[in-house]
Amino acid sequence: MTYLSSALLALMQQDTPKPKVPESPHFWMPTSSSTFAEATDWAFDFVTWVSAVVTIGVVIAMTLFCVKYRATDRSKNEQPTGNVDHSNVLEIAWSVIPLPFVIAFFVVGLQGFINMRTPPKEAYEIHATAAKWSWMFQYPSGYTTNELHVPKDRPVKVIIEAQDVIHAFYVPAFRQKIDAVPGRYTHAWFEAIETGEFPLFCAEYCGTNHSDMITKVVVHEKDAFEEWLEEAERKEEEEGLKNPVAYGETVYKQAGCATCHSLDGSPKIGPTFKGLFGKTERFTDGTTAVVDENYLRESIEDPQAKIVDGFPASMPTYKGKLSNNRLRALVEFIKSQK
Amino acid sequence: MASTTTSPEAFGSATPSTSESYLTNERGFLSWLLTLDHKRIGVMYLMGVLFSFALGGFFALAVRTELLTPGHTVMEADTYNQMFTLHGAVMVFLVIIPGIPAALGNFVLPIQLGAKDVAFPRLNLFSFHLWLIGALFLVLSMYLSAADTGWTFYTPYSTTTTTAVIPATFGAFILGFSSIFTGVNMIVTIHKLRPPGMHWFRMPLFCWAIYATAIMQVLATPVLGITLLMLIVERALHVGIFDPALGGDPVLYQHFFWFYSHPAVYIMIVPAFGVISEVIAAFSRKRIFGYKFIALSSVAIAILGFLVWGHHMFTSGQSVLAGTIFSAISFMIAIPTAIKIFNWLGTMYQGRIFLDTPMLYALAFLWVFTIGGVTGMYLAVMSTDVHLHDTYFVVAHFHYVMMGGAITAFFAGLHYWWPKITGRMYDEKPGRIGAIIVFLGLNLTFFPQFIMGSQGMPRRYYNYLEEFTIYHQLSTVGAYLMGVGFLLAGINFYRSLRKKPDAPKNPWGARSLEWLTTSPPPYYNFHKPPVVDFGPYDYEDLVFDKKLGGYVHKSEAKS
């Protein structure tokens, strides 16, 4: 069964085309498409130059000595031309000379790292959920996608969680990576500096289809991003309104209603949706009302207006967060919970 | 210098009588399996390690073959995941960790100290038996359903996968004890069984390296044991330790695991430093340069090695402060490592360099290990590590260190001590060709991995984006080439056992005590411990005797 389902999954994932890796101008690195790519690349090149000098130096010395001091006939019993076996000056020299370099590496790496781990406060927030073997990204409106869409020239903070095992969020073009750990949030931020599509990998081994847990980041122009999001949501609504109850269920999950309102009759932070419609509710101010479309709409947009007796007044307003169509679908969904 | 005090058996016949040779003084299967002779135990370890190396190499070739093309080439994803897990687990736990300390170390170290055996021969045998049992558990797990977790057994994947994780981790747990017992034995042997005149700074550097390794084995391995035990408890009894679904913390596992496994990296590479020091000095015919610095840098690495485990976790979400500390200490380790490389070069300077097979492996080591070392710096720089972590860059880095470093040094040591262990000389020419093919093969295998890694290719991928195909194919060709090189070395060794000439006592003209006794050594090594009033690298007292094909002491040559 597991084999069958994983094989099916693999098939489904093969159907979605793999992202293309954009042609890179660098030999070592992919395209530098985020604000901190340049600093990371600089650090990389710095280490590369120093490493190259050291490695080439060692190899040249080694080769030179092998050629110059080569001996082939043991019976000649040649003795070394010199027999110096220690030199404190040399030992100190080759211990101290590397020091400033490694200190510089450390400092450069630290600066870059602090920058990568400190998202600006005004960053646009997107929630990511990693699960075997796909990604889900949720935008502030509650709209979700499997590919990550972001605006160019605007800091984006991705808040990441994992549903099952450890995964890792990795966008080479942005030089950003962080593990997705079940049971806690991690975050990665970046600011894209060019539009286009870039591969997004799962970088922490997670089982059978680990290597298919690839999606893409689509970077839009700043304004085009807002348009894209609105358009995508409008399309989803249009499709959704053909079956408002099912669409309402999506909204119920996406907008976070499920956290406080159960569907099985058990009270959570707020009243259950089961059998809610048509019921008479008693409020903290002693008044009562029958639950109808207008009551539901008011409770969503202005939740503090009427507080049901026995429940805390803790619900935030959803006015402006839900479009009319989404609101309508949600009301239809609540009505359907008999 | 001081020729009068070498022991009487020093310059007698090169070949021991059948009743004396450790290989033939007792016969029968049980005389091997239940032997207390460190040499026989070393040889059994050696056979086990070589067999495991062939097995691990087979898994590596399976992995590389699958990666010839993106998507399905010869196996399914699940099989591939088992293959790379087996490759890693076998190579780490069954090959590299016991390779130099338990196989070569067991054979060589007591003789280098002029001792008849290790301090605790029974513990030594027990350690080998544990190794066998641990290896059997790993094989058992392959038979049941080989683990697909990677050799790191990261939770919660390892506690939830359906494959046989418990037998595999239990195998690693037992192998851990084997490693601890070897470590205890080496520490006590070095402290208590040094011969008259051999003070600490007259020990061969191989002994220093094994000593530093043994300290790490004894201090770090118990943590691995406890961690794997907790993992087994969580999997079997659902006690929440690492799995968040049971209330545990998966990152805690990573801390525990790397607290062992980073020192383990040095358990794997420090003995290699010891072999390289012996070989480079002996084949440069010159006293080792900076003896004390090489000796003490091993100890420095052993200590610092305990404080850097967090550099495996820069992207795990650990705090910036923790990352900063681990990064800083990681850079400190670069210095003692660099010191060694420069001292080896200093040893070659003005020497008389013979490019025999062991020396070719040692030169390959110098070159390749330098690359492995400097690429470690990219991973200690936190900003570049964020990009490179869990990509093929890391794979290339640790293969340059583990394969290019530890395995190359193991082969240098194997060729160096082969005449002593078996009493036979191997053919030089195929030996050298093998070394060169291995060197070319390993660069072809792993260098392209640096490029694809920094370009963003994640590791442990069964399928990959088409853009990376060329690098994968180069790498696979390199892996086959390397296989050919090792096969050639293997055939060469095998042929030497069948028909090559008997080895002289001291074919390379080395000065440490194992070259004073016959090849192969008698079962008692020495009648009485030789008095040591010379340094381990005082080659000027030796002269080559053409008739014997080996070196003898100056005084001996005159008579």
**String of DSSP letters for A245-272:** HHHHHHHHHHTTGGGT--SSS---SS--
- At which residue do the structure tokens 């209603």 appear? A257
Q: Which tens digit of pLDDT belongs to each residue from A233-279?
A: 888 878 788 888 888 888 887 777 877 888 988 888 889 999 999 98
Contact A312, A301 (CB under 8 A): no
pLDDT at B4 over 80: no
pTM for the full predicted model? 0.88
Nearest to residue B228, comparing CAs of B138, B288, B145? Answer: B138
Q: Please state, in angstroms and as integers, the Cα–Cα distance from residue B191 to each residue in B181, B196, B214, B292, B300, following that order.
A: 16, 13, 12, 18, 19
More confident: B142 or A101: A101
CB A163 within 8 A of CB A182: yes
Closest among A178, A113, A133 to A9, alpha carbons compared: A133
Residue B403 has pLDDT above 50, yes or no: yes
Q: Which residues of B touch A45 (CB under 8 A)?
A: none
Nearest to B467 by CA among A172, A22, A198: A22
> How confident is the model at residue A233, as a pLDDT?
85
Nearest residue, CB atoms, B320 vs list A85, A95, A117: A117
> Is the pLDDT assigned to residue B458 strictly greater than 90?
yes
Q: What is the CATH number of the domain that holds B433?
A: 1.20.210.10
**B1 is a domain residue:** no
Beta carbons within 10 angstroms of residue B73's beta carbon: 14
Which of A67, A73, A86, A114 to substitute to test the interface with B, most B CBs within 10 Å? A86
Q: Which pLDDT score is estimated for A131?
A: 87
CB B171 within 8 A of CB B138: yes
pLDDT at B508: 95
pLDDT tens across A184-237, in order?
Answer: 999 999 999 999 999 999 999 999 899 999 999 999 999 999 999 999 888 887
Q: What is the mean pLDDT of residues A135-157?
A: 91
Residue of B nearest to A105 (CA): B381
- CB-based contact B175:B224 (threshold 8 Å): no
**What average pLDDT does the segment A140-152 reach?**
89
How far B297 CA sits from the closest chain A CA (Å)? 11
Query: Degrees (nearest 5) of the Cα angle B260, B400, B491?
Result: 105
Please spell the DSSP secondary structure of B135-185, one letter per residue.
Answer: HHHHHHHHHHH---STTTT-TTHHHH-SS-HHHHHHHHHHHHHHHHHHHHH
- For chains A and B, what is the number of CB pairs under 8 angstroms? 289
Question: A199 has which bridge partners?
Answer: A216
Contact B461/A18, CB-based, under 8 Å? no
What does the pLDDT read at residue B219? 93
What CA–CA distance (Å, rounded) separates B62 from B380? 31
Which residues share a beta bridge with A187? A159
Q: Which of residues 184-243 of A touch B (CB under 8 A)?
A: 184, 186, 199, 201-212, 214
Least confident of A173-187, A294-308, B283-297: A294-308
Q: Which of A188, A167, A162 is nearest to A179 (CA)?
A: A167
Nearest to B118 by CA among B32, B14, B209, B207: B207
Which residues 6+ apart lie within 8 Å of B272 measured at CB?
B100, B209, B365, B369, B405, B406, B408, B409, B410
Q: What percent of chain B has pLDDT over 90?
A: 79
The encoded tokens of residue B169 equal 């981790």
Cβ–Cβ contacts within 10 Å for residue B530, how many?
A: 24
CB contact under 8 A, B543 and A77: yes
Is A29's pLDDT higher than 50? yes
The answer to whether the CB atoms of A179 and B315 lie below 8 A apart is yes
B157 to B59, B95, B153: CA distances (angstroms): 22, 25, 8
Whether A53 and chain B come into contact, CB under 8 Å, resolves to no
Residues in chain A with CB shorter than 8 Å from the CB of B352 are 69, 71, 78-80
* Residue B3 domain flag: no
Of B386, B390, B459, Cβ closest to residue A175: B386
User: Cα–Cα distance between B467 and B471 in angstroms, integer?
Assistant: 9
Give B-chain residues touching A75 at CB under 8 angstroms: 544, 546
Using the Cβ of B386 and the Cβ atoms of chain A, whether some distance falls under 8 Å is answered with yes
- Domain range for B89 is 8-556
Position A11 scores a pLDDT of 44
Residue B544 phi/psi, 5-degree rounding, is -85, 135
pLDDT tens digits, residue range A76-95? Answer: 989 998 888 889 999 999 99
Residue B544 has pLDDT above 90, yes or no: yes
Q: Is B292 on the interface with A (CB under 8 A)?
A: yes
The confidence score (pLDDT) of residue B1 equals 35
Chain A residues touching B77 at Cβ < 8 A: 10, 208-209, 211
User: Which residues 279-308 of chain A have a CB within 8 Å of chain B?
Assistant: none
Distance CA A264, CA A161 (A): 27
Please provide the average confidence, as pLDDT, over all residues in chain A.
89
Partner A, chain B 341-360, Cβ-Cβ below 8 Å? 341-343, 345-346, 348-355
CA angle at residue B334 from B328 to B338, to 5 degrees? 160
Average pLDDT over residues B92-113: 95
Angstrom distance (rounded) from CA B485 to CA B488 = 5
Q: pLDDT: is A318 or B338 the higher one?
A: B338
pLDDT over threshold 80, residue A320: no
Residue B338 near chain A (CB below 8 Å): yes
> What distance in Å separates the CA atoms of residue B90 and residue B319, rounded to the nearest whole number?
33
A35/B contact by beta carbon, under 8 A: no
How far, in Å, CA of B400 to CA of B414, rounded?
19
What does the pLDDT read at residue A3? 46
Residue among B382, B395, B439, B459 with most chain A CBs within 10 A, to mutate: B382
- The alpha carbon of residue B438 and the mean position of all alpha carbons in its chain are separated, in whole angstroms, by 16
Q: How far apart are CA B288 and CA B286, in angstroms?
A: 6
Residue A185 phi, psi (nearest 5): -100, 145
E strand or H helix that includes residue B481: helix B469-499
Rg (CA), chain A: 30
In a domain, B229, yes or no: yes
From chain B, pick out residues whose CB is under 8 angstroms from the CB of A114: 320
Whole-angstrom distance, CA of residue B482 vs CA of residue A173 = 33
Q: Is A330 helix (H, G, I), strand (E, B) or coil?
A: helix
> How distant, in Å, are the alpha carbons of A102, B208, B298 from that of A92?
16, 21, 17
Cβ proximity of B60 and B445 under 8 Å = no
Confidence of residue A10 (pLDDT cuts 50, 70, 90): very low
| Position B214, amino acid | A
Residue-level pLDDT at B3? 36
Contact B466 A18 (CB under 8 A): yes
Predicted local confidence at residue B558, as pLDDT: 58
Shortest CA gap B435–chain A (Å): 16
Are residues B511 and B540 in contact, defined by beta-carbon separation less than 8 angstroms? no
- Cβ contact B367–A84 (<8 Å): no
Q: Does A64 contact chain B (CB < 8 Å)? A: no
Looking at the DSSP assignment, which residues form a beta bridge with residue B375? none
Cα separations in angstroms, A309 against A143, A270, A281, A305: 32, 10, 8, 13
Whole-angstrom Cα distance, residue B379 to residue B394? 8
Among B524, B417, B502, CA closest to B7 = B524
Residue among B22, B13, B5 nearest B521 (CA): B22
| Number of Cβ atoms within 10 Å of the Cβ of A287 | 10
Over residues B172-177, mean pLDDT: 94
ipTM at complex level: 0.91
Mean pLDDT computed over every residue of chain B? 92
Q: How far apart are CA A175 and CA A44, in angstroms?
A: 11
pLDDT for the residue numbered A160 = 96
Q: Is there a domain that residue B2 lies in?
A: no
List the end-to-end C-alpha distance of chain B, in Å, as a whole number: 16
Residue B455 forms contact with A (CB below 8 Å): yes
In chain B, how many domains are there?
A: 1
Spatial distance between the Cα atoms of B537 and B119, rounded to a whole number of angstroms = 25
Residue A42 near chain B (CB below 8 Å): no
Asked if A182's CB is within 8 angstroms of B156's CB, the reply is yes
For residue B542, the cross-strand partners are B553
Instruction: Name the region of A207 (left: φ>0; alpha: ψ -120 to 50; beta: rest).
Output: left
Residue B11 confidence (pLDDT) above 60:
no
Nearest to B348 among A69, A111, A166 (CB): A69
- How long a stretch of residues is chain B? 559
| A99, A166, A173 ranked by CB distance to B250: nearest | A166
Contact assignment for B290 to A10 by CB distance below 8 Å: no
β-partners of residue A288 are: A282
CA distances from A184 to A157, A179, B258 (A): 16, 10, 21
| Average pLDDT of the residues in B32-41 | 95
Question: Which of A49, A67, A78, A177 would best serve as a mutation to test chain B binding (most B beta carbons within 10 A)?
Answer: A177
CA B542/CA B288 separation, integer angstroms: 16
**Residue B27: phi, psi to the nearest 5?**
-125, 160
The Cα B349–Cα B296 span in angstroms is 22
Indicate the burial class of B3 (C-beta count within 10 angstroms; 0-12, 13-18, 19 or more): middle
Residue B74 touches partner A, C-beta closer than 8 Å: no
Q: What pLDDT, on the 0 to 100 scale, is given for residue A12?
A: 44
Q: In this structure, what token pair is assigned to residue A13?
A: 């994932």
Q: Does B477 touch chain A (CB under 8 A)?
A: no
Residue B397 covered by a domain: yes
What span, in angstroms and rounded, lies between the C-alpha atoms of A5 and B238? 26
Q: Coil, strand or helix: which one is A76?
A: helix
Q: Please tell me which residue of chain B has the smallest CA distance to A17.
A: B465
Name the token pair of B120. 């605790």
Report DSSP state, residue B423.
S
* A31–chain B nearest CA distance, Å: 9
Task: State how far the Cα of B256 lies from the Cα of B325, in Å rounded to an integer.
Answer: 17
For each of the domains in chain A, give its residue range(s) and CATH number, in order of start. 1-62+90-242 (2.60.40.420), 243-335 (1.10.760.10)
The answer on pLDDT for B358 being more than 90 is yes
CA B293 to chain centre: 21
Cβ neighbours of A214 in B, within 8 Å? 465
